[in-house]
């Protein structure tokens, strides 16, 4: 009797249909999936229903092409134990910039816990139309274009098997996230597209990005202020500007960056390889510490290893005031490959706060032009072990 009742319950449960099993399909909320009609409202309605459900839920974006403007998938989703966004479709970002009011990004996930974003789908930022309006690559004060996928104060987030194409600005942004795992992610934009960083990570902790391919016009990965416990591994990067810590020291009250491990990556044809950059004349003090770069292959990279504490990309950088970001406990270990310039190692530290405890172990970087590579150093006492090409600075 009990068993029969249980079977009936399961049948009845299934009969009620998708929603009661916790799956919310955007097509049931009015998405047209024709790539022409704006599906933003349907997406947000489906999210709202999912977020108000109890237990484990799934937001399904089935195969199809969807045109969407800025969408906010925000929590908290109080009675939801976990939420999976199964993104199997092809999303095209609206190119009408007036839809992105006051700093809106394109697809935002905010204040949710136990979120998984997966499904093999593509987020196409349709950036080419907006890149000519990018002012930030030219001057300091600028209107920032929308980033494609942004995670804001999420906790325990898994992102795997998705693709991001031609973002208007950054591809994927983490802001204030705790415990984030990203893998099998492809981020792609042309090498001359402005500020199309693959990942930008800020104010986050416990972040792991691995087994991903990034080809873009700016940093493959940029690690901004106030981050700790970040592991980057198995990244294929290029073209792009490489893997960068910074820029730091641009704003007041920036937090420290500590506990970074960047390992088992291959960078090809990038302008920089492994970079730490801090602004000259920083308004506050902060630090970068406990940073390890390990087992990295650099192929035809212009500045393979570079610490630059006089960073200022604009024309009017007249300040002689040094950076106040201190850098210490840095390891470059097993770094090998080729440089397209003779200066393969640059350690240009701040005269205000010289770098401390910078270690190079087994560095083998050869100039494609044939002559030996050289190292340039300023305000740093580095230690060396194992192979050293270029030869250490005196």
Ligand X SMILES: *[C@@H]1O[C@H](CO)[C@@H](O)[C@H](O)[C@H]1NC(C)=O
What is the binding site for ligand X (CB under 6 A)? Answer: 52, 54, 78-79, 96, 98-99, 229, 259, 261, 290
Q: Which is nearer to ligand X, 53 or 311 (CB)?
A: 53
Catalytic annotation, pick one of 124, 241, 256, 308: 241
Q: Which is nearer to ligand X, 80 or 189 (CB)?
A: 80
Question: 113-118 and 90-93: which strand pairing?
Answer: unpaired
**241 is a catalytic site residue:** yes
Alpha-carbon torsion angle 10, 11, 17, 22, nearest 10: 10
Q: Which is nearer to ligand X, 21 or 54 (CB)?
A: 54
Burial annotation 60-82 (CB, 10 A radius, 16+ → b, else e): bbbebbbbbbbbbbbbebeebeb
**Cβ 148 vs Cβ 168: under 8 Å:** yes
Helices (H), the chain: 2-16, 40-51
Q: Which is nearer to ligand X, 17 or 76 (CB)?
A: 76
Q: How far is the CB of 3 from ligand X (least distance, A)?
A: 28
Q: What is the largest CA-CA distance in the chain?
A: 86
**171 is a catalytic site residue:** no
Catalytic annotation, pick one of 39, 124, 197, 218: 218
Q: Which of 302, 315, 307 is nearest to 349 (CA)?
A: 307
Q: Which is nearer to ligand X, 5 or 101 (CB)?
A: 101
Residue nearest to ligand X (CB): 259
Q: How far is the CB of 79 from ligand X (least distance, A)?
A: 4
Q: How far apart are CA 306 and CA 343, in angstroms?
A: 10
Q: How far is the CB of 116 from ligand X (least distance, A)?
A: 20
H-run or E-run covering 246: strand 243-248
Q: How far is the CB of 227 from ligand X (least distance, A)?
A: 10
Q: How far is the CB of 259 from ligand X (least distance, A)?
A: 3
Residues in the chain, overall count: 394
| Adjacent-strand bridge partners of 343 | 374
Backbone angles phi, psi at 121, to 5 degrees: -80, 175
Indicate which residues carry an active-site annotation.
Answer: 218, 241
């Amino acid at each position: 009797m009990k068993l029969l009742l249980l079977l009936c319950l399961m049948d009845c449960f299934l009969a009620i249909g998708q929603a009661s099993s916790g799956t919310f399909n955007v097509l049931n909320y009015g998405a047209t999936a024709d790539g022409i009609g704006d599906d933003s409202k349907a997406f947000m309605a489906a999210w709202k229903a999912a977020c108000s459900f109890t237990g484990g839920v799934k937001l399904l974006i089935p195969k199809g092409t969807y045109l969407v403007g800025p969408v906010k998938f925000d929590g908290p989703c109080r009675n939801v134990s976990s939420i999976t966004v199964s993104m199997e479709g092809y999303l095209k970002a609206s190119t009408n910039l007036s839809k992105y009011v006051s700093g809106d990004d394109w697809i935002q996930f905010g204040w949710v816990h136990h979120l998984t974003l997966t499904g093999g789908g593509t987020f196409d930022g349709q950036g080419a139309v907006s890149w000519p309006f990018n002012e930030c690559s030219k001057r300091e004060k600028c209107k920032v274009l929308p980033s494609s996928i942004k995670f804001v104060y999420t906790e325990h987030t898994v992102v795997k098997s998705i693709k991001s194409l031609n973002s208007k600005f950054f591809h994927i942004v983490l802001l204030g996230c705790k415990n984030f795992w990203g893998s099998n992610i492809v981020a792609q934009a042309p090498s001359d597209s402005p500020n199309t960083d693959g990942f930008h990570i800020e104010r986050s902790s416990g972040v792991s990005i691995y087994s991903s391919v990034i080809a873009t016009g700016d940093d493959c990965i940029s690690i901004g202020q106030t981050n700790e416990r970040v592991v980057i591994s198995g990244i294929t990067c290029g073209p792009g500007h490489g893997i960068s810590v910074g820029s730091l020291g641009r704003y007041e009250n920036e937090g420290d960056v500590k506990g970074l491990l960047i390992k088992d990556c291959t960078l090809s044809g990038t302008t920089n390889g492994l970079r730490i950059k801090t602004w000259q004349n920083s308004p506050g003090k902060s630090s970068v510490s406990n940073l390890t770069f390990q087992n990295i292959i650099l192929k035809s990279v212009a500045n393979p290893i570079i610490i630059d504490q006089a960073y200022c990309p604009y024309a009017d950088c007249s300040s002689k005031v040094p950076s106040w970001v201190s850098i210490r406990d840095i390891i470059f270990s097993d770094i090998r490959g080729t440089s397209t310039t003779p200066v393969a190692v640059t350690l240009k530290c701040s005269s205000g706060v010289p770098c401390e405890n910078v270690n190079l172990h087994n560095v083998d970087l050869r100039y494609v032009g044939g002559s030996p590579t050289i190292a340039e150093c300023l305000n740093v006492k580095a230690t060396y072990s194992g192979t050293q090409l270029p030869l250490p600075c005196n």
